[in-house]
């Protein structure tokens, strides 16, 4: 090979080597730049992540402090929140015989007194309606029929009575601020099926609540449900006990916060309850009753503290057309004050308001009258003597038995 060709060959080789070296350097530079960019990106992302963590930590701290403040506020609010309290007063009274027996003389009878008043329906309750109008509810024993029937029911025994009054006598109840009655007694059938049907229809027409003889009262008073039951309690029978259990349970399921049965029972003119009365009253409380009320003996009877629950065995007569001049005219209005907190029963208190069945001592004028003086003292003394379990606490102001 000549020198010229040799120089050309060496030059080409040199050029090729330079090109390879240049390409290699470019490749290396690209790799380095890529590494640098990637490293920078990672460093930046890590930096951003650090900022985010700091921000989240700061937010968590703020949120935690805020949550703590909220919890503290809730705690303080709950601590300061007062329970919602309600006080409800229910009045009970004894026998209302608004009528007469046709065997009785007309003169001196309740119908004669009504005519003499100018047919004033407010006449008989004039001295006690202020008590009934100021309470939240009044329940009494209606021991008569409101009927025009002349078909008396036959009764066994040497002495028996069939009581009735005209249907308009229902206005005596409404004008006296009496909202409910029990018809469970030994006179509601005095004029047979027609007599009781007339009575029930007449009461319903005037929106008077009924318990007894299959009827139960479930009454909403100030947003609290009350249940009232009526029974005749002549025997301590399994049938009656089963009915008491079922009725109380039914009222509870319907939302009754307070349940009170009213019994018609006992022996006439006897001041202390018999074993049947005691057994039925205590059985009722053992099975969910909050208190027990009674009548029929025509005189006042013992009161009792049974397991912290109150029993009034007989409240006696009240507006009583069955006798123109009974020898014992003492009676009383029983008031029960129900204390409610957050729609639940908190406690019960009791008050005896002494009264006489007549505004005069020499005869029955059928005007129940609040007692004063010796009459008042006599009633409270008698009730305390009859009621040893109440430790002399029966008085004419509200008291708790436990």
Give every CB contact of residue 1 below 8 A, 6+ residues apart in sequence.
9
The encoded tokens of residue 21 equal: 């070296």
The answer to whether 228 and 211 have CB atoms below 8 angstroms apart is: yes
* pLDDT of amino acid 11: 46
pTM: 0.81
Angstrom distance (rounded) from CA 316 to CA 266:
11
pLDDT in tens, 231-270: 999 999 999 999 999 999 999 999 999 999 999 999 999 9
pLDDT tens digits, one per residue of 268-285: 999 999 999 999 999 999
Sort residue 392 into left (φ over 0), alpha (ψ -120 to 50) or beta. Answer: left
318-352 confidence digits (pLDDT tens): 999 999 999 999 999 999 999 999 999 999 999 99
For 57-77, the pLDDT digits (tens) are 545 554 555 555 556 655 555
- When mean pLDDT is compared across 23-32, 329-338, 369-378, 385-394, the lowest value belongs to 23-32
Contact 213, 187 (CB under 8 A): no
Average pLDDT over residues 374-391: 97
Indicate the DSSP class of residue 388: G
Rounded Cα distance, 12 and 134, in Å: 128
């Amino acid at each position: 090979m000549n020198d010229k060709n040799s120089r050309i060959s060496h030059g080409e080789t040199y050029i090729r080597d330079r090109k390879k070296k240049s390409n290699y350097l470019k490749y290396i530079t690209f790799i380095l730049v890529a590494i640098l960019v990637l490293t920078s990106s990672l460093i930046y992302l890590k930096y951003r992540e650090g900022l985010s963590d700091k921000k989240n930590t700061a937010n968590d701290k703020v949120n935690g402090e805020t949550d703590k403040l909220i919890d503290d506020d809730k705690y303080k609010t709950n601590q300061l929140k007062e329970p919602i309290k309600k006080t409800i007063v229910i009045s009970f009274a004894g026998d209302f015989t608004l009528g007469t027996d046709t065997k009785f003389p007309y003169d001196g009878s309740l119908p004669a007194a009504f005519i003499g008043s100018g047919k004033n329906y407010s006449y008989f309750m004039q001295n006690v309606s202020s008590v009934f109008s100021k309470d939240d509810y009044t329940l009494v024993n209606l021991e008569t029929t409101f009927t025009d029937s002349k078909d008396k029911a036959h009764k066994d025994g040497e002495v028996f009575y069939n009581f009735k009054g005209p249907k308009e006598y229902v206005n005596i109840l409404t004008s006296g601020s009496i909202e409910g009655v029990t018809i469970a007694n030994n006179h509601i059938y005095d004029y047979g099926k027609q007599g009781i049907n007339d009575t029930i229809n007449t009461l319903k027409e005037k929106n008077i609540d009924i318990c007894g003889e299959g009827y139960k009262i479930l009454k909403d008073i100030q947003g609290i449900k009350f249940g009232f039951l009526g029974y005749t309690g002549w025997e301590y029978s399994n049938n009656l006990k089963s009915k008491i259990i079922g009725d109380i349970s039914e009222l509870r399921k319907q939302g009754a916060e307070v349940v009170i049965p009213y019994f018609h029972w006992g022996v006439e003119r006897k001041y202390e309850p018999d074993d049947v009365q005691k057994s039925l009253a205590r059985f009722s409380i053992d099975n969910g009753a909050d208190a027990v009320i009674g009548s029929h003996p025509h005189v006042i009877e013992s009161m009792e503290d049974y397991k912290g629950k109150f029993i009034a065995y007989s409240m006696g007569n009240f507006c009583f057309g069955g006798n123109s001049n009974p020898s014992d005219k003492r009676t009383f209005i029983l008031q029960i004050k129900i204390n409610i907190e957050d729609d639940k029963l908190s406690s019960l208190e009791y008050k005896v308001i002494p009264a006489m069945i007549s505004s005069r001592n020499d005869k029955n004028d059928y005007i129940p009258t609040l007692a004063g003086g010796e009459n008042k003292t006599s009633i409270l003394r008698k009730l305390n003597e009859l009621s040893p379990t109440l430790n002399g606490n029966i008085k004419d102001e509200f008291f708790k038995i436990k």
